[in-house]
Amino acid sequence: MALKPAEGNADSKVVRHTQNIGITRPLAPPNTSTTVLFEKEGKLAEKWNGWPDGFFERDFTFHEVDDYNNLQVHWATKTHGHRGGFDSADSWEHGKKQHRECLGIIECDNPDCLIAIRPQTTRARIEKQLLARCKCGAVLDHITCDVKSITWTYSKGVHFVNAGCHQHPRPGHILHISKDEQVRFEAIVNTHPAVGPLALIVGVPGVNGPGESVADISDVFVNAGRVGKERLKIKKGGQVGGSDAFISAFVKFSQEYPGFVIYSQLNIVTVISVQSSLMRSEMVKERLLDGPINGLVNDAAHFRVT
């Protein structure tokens, strides 16, 4: 997974491909042979850490893209798609392109305040954020950023270009977690299924005091609400409110109440028919039949699942 520094001249191939989104400068400063990739103790990190910075381009396989959660970033960004291009193209130059623009940061005019607020994704929402006061009481200001990152998805993977250096602090609130962090979080929750969100943050109770804390995995898990939501996903075995959760719940319901669901079809048209022994007894007065009975449908006996 080799790093590909961009050449520091105006004829760079990447410059030609980025001119149509407003980037006309070369992707590396003049007389610079190295690039700033993913900073880690002053060195280039081997893995994607969500903070791409500097002028560089790099190729990723689909396996790497999946490992890095679709190259998610922690900067506050807005994503834009582009017409044309195909994800089945043989070369990245003809691939499906999209770019992210950095939205900068919101800071206050108090030089001693270290709070950095993540901007919303629309101008109207940012203006609403600026109407409020910082927690320290000072006036908020939006520090804009012109850094863009561009991806071309093609048959062999994803070609990634980062164009620019961030001249502002990182947002204090992180939204995303990596796959490794998710695996570590799931391991703690599955090992201690009865421990609630607050105890998971403080540290799993043990004989010698609090043990491993999910807050040590990522700053995302210092929020009890987020920990509770992620914990609930794991305990339910799928996304909360999603189709996977519904199917799992439906299977469990059918097992707990055998015979109540007399027919089910999960397809383009979804049909679920239920009938209790009481419903059958009301339809046939003389005797109670063993099987389901057709012949009566009313508003209280059927519904549609979409």
> What does the pLDDT read at residue 131?
93
Mean pLDDT, range 160-185, rounded to an integer: 85
136 contacts: CB under 8 Å, gap ≥ 6: 108, 110, 113, 115
> What does the pLDDT read at residue 85?
92
List the chain domain ranges.
1-101+144-176, 105-143, 182-236, 252-306
Mean pLDDT of the chain: 75
| Distances from the Cα of 94 to the Cα of 17, 80, 85, 87, angstroms | 10, 17, 5, 8
Mind giving me the DSSP string for 257-292?
STTTEEEEE-SSS-EEEE--HHHHHHH-SS---SS-
Mean pLDDT, range 10-14, rounded to an integer: 36
φ/ψ (deg, to 5) at 160: -115, 135
Q: For residues 161 and 226, what is the distance between their CA atoms, to the nearest angstrom?
A: 32
pLDDT in tens, 223-233: 888 888 888 88
pLDDT in tens, 202-260: 888 777 777 788 888 877 788 888 888 888 888 777 444 455 556 666 777 777 778 78
Taking a C-beta distance cutoff of 8 angstroms, is the pair 226, 176 a contact?
no
> What does the pLDDT read at residue 288?
53
- Is the pLDDT confidence value at 101 over 50? yes
